[in-house]
Amino acid sequence: MNVLAQELNDILKDTAAFRLLADFGKRLYFPKGIITQTGEAKKHAHKFNVTVGMAFDKGEPIFLPSIRKNFPGLSAREAVAYAPTPGDEELRELWKKEIVRKNPEIDPGTISTPMAVSGLTNGLVHIADLFMDPGDVVIIPDMFWGNYRLMFEVRKGGKIVSFPFFDENNGLNIDGFKQTILANKGAGKVILLVNFPNNPTGYSPRIEEAEALAAALKECAEEGVDILAVTDDAYFGLFYEEGTYTHSLFSKCATLHERILAVKVDGATKEDYVWGFRLGFITFGGKGMTDQQYEALNKKLMGSIRSSISNGSRPAQTLIKKGLQDPGYLGEKEKYFKILKKRYEKVKQLVSARSSSTVLTPLPFNSGYFMSFACNNISAEKLRTELLHQEGIGSIAIGEAYLRIAYAGVDEEHLEELYGTIYKVAERLAAE
């Protein structure tokens, strides 16, 4: 094992973070090579800097005019220079402040400084690199984003273990979380992944459910199991109902128990409506973790980034940084939150008016971009194909049982037509 990796492991020893690391995670480190030497040169090379693989003209990165004209507000360094492996330092600090602003339960001194990654999917893959060995169990409620299978089972050789998302009262299945963790504690560690607001259901826990889930996780940790609690916060902030827990579950897990390492994977992708920017962040939180231990984890993460994508998009990081610094930023986000909330309220009204339907049953939803129907006595895939080819409506079938609708992508004035057509086609199929 490389001596740098061993040094990081020594810093992390006796922590849940170290016990949770995969074999690859234990071997990861950030090399003292070109990147480190380039960083030193930026500080001390006052005459010539010939470290980095970039071309310059009169001291500034070369910037083709045909491209520059489309970045009128950015300098060459802001647009085309390499970003640091962990991300733009100022942006990372700004994002941490935003996490604390949006999650005031968090003490900023108890979490790491976020690391920039190339979108939330990329962030989850890096977490899998650090913490997943073949055969490791990933516990996820059964209503989950299908890409998790590719990430955790196909890429890493792990095993997804799921349980019903909702209990018999159509609330979050807290007991399912607890019992599934305890049933898989034999290996001494489990990886738990939660996604709120949830894709595909559009559900987020109520305040009392979030508290109960945190209590259940603490009970499991007290049973002697190390838990990696990963929050996929892709749709964070889009909470529409009173009584919903409007913080990330990371807030509760970050200082919950010494055997729990919390990981918040979030980003600008959907929070700031920049889907194609592919900019996400990874933040760690663990009870009793020190700044030195967080830095060791971040260096391992930097090793994963460096060995795969090298670094993220500089223009995406620059533009988000400038957005966060703009005095109009929060007001603009509030404007579009209200638009999406009105679409949610319209959908709630439309499905409530069809509550007597025996063909389509809406699953509970209160947040995010989506809602899903349980399809009763008809095939969700058949419904999807009929809607697509006969009505020109695209939707997502989840197996044969559920149909997901991304109502966030439809203007409010068209929602009545959309849902009217969905119910009409479903009822026709049921009658055939």
DSSP string for residues in 246-282: -S-THHHHTTS-TTEEEEEEEEHHHHTT-GGG--EEE
Average pLDDT over residues 227-254: 97
Predicted pLDDT of residue 34: 61
**pLDDT grade for 41, boundaries at 50, 70 and 90:** low
Specify the DSSP class assigned to residue 408: G
The pLDDT value recorded for residue 45 is 67
Q: Tell me, what's the pLDDT at 56?
A: 81
Q: What is the mean pLDDT of residues 51-62?
A: 80
Q: Using the predicted structure, report yes or no on whether residue 51 has a pLDDT greater than 80.
A: no
Share of the chain above pLDDT 70, in %: 97
Tokens 């827990």 identify what position? 245
Q: How many CA atoms lie within 13 A of 211 on its CB side?
A: 6
Query: Is residue 57 pLDDT above 70, yes or no?
Result: yes
Q: Return the pLDDT at 62.
A: 83
Strand pairing class (402-405; 396-398): antiparallel
Read off the pLDDT of residues 166-205 as tens digits, 9 standing for 90 and up: 999 999 999 999 999 999 998 889 999 999 999 999 999 9
> Is pLDDT larger for residue 390 or for residue 64?
390
**CB-CB contact of 240 with 280 (8 Å):** no
Q: Which long-range contacts (CB under 8 A, 24 or more apart) does 93-100 make?
A: 94/321, 94/324, 94/325, 95/281, 95/324, 96/283, 98/324, 99/248, 99/264, 99/266, 99/283
Phi and psi at residue 306, to the nearest 5°: -60, -35
pLDDT value, residue 88: 97
Mean pLDDT of 50-73: 84
C-beta separation of 52 from 82 below 8 A: yes
pLDDT at 48: 72
| Dihedral sign from CA coordinates of 154, 225, 193, 15 | negative
% of the chain at pLDDT higher than 90: 90
274 neighbors 320 (Cβ within 8 angstroms)? yes
pLDDT band, very low/low/confident/very high, at 39 (cuts 50, 70, 90): low
Torsion of CA 63, 69, 72, 75, to 10 degrees: 0
Tens of pLDDT along 97-127? Answer: 999 999 999 999 999 999 999 999 999 999 9
How would residue 49 be classed by pLDDT, with cut points 50, 70 and 90?
Answer: confident
Q: What is the pLDDT of residues 155-166, one digit of tens each?
A: 999 999 999 999
- pLDDT tens-digit map of 247-284: 999 999 999 999 999 999 999 999 999 999 999 999 99
pLDDT score of 304 more than 90: yes
Closest by CA position to 113, among listed 301, 278, 372 = 301
Output the pTM of the full model.
0.94
**How far apart (Å, rounded) are the C-alpha atoms in residues 334 and 137?**
39
Assign 3-state DSSP to the chain and report helix, strand, coil percentages, each to 5: 45, 15, 40
Task: Check pLDDT > 80 for residue 85.
Answer: yes
Per-residue confidence (pLDDT) for residue 59, from 0 to 100:
83
Question: How sure is the predictor about 33, in pLDDT bands with cuts at 50, 70 and 90?
Answer: low
Q: Which domains does the chain have, with CATH numbers?
A: 3-30+85-325 (3.40.640.10), 330-431 (3.90.1150.10)
pLDDT above 80: residue 318: yes
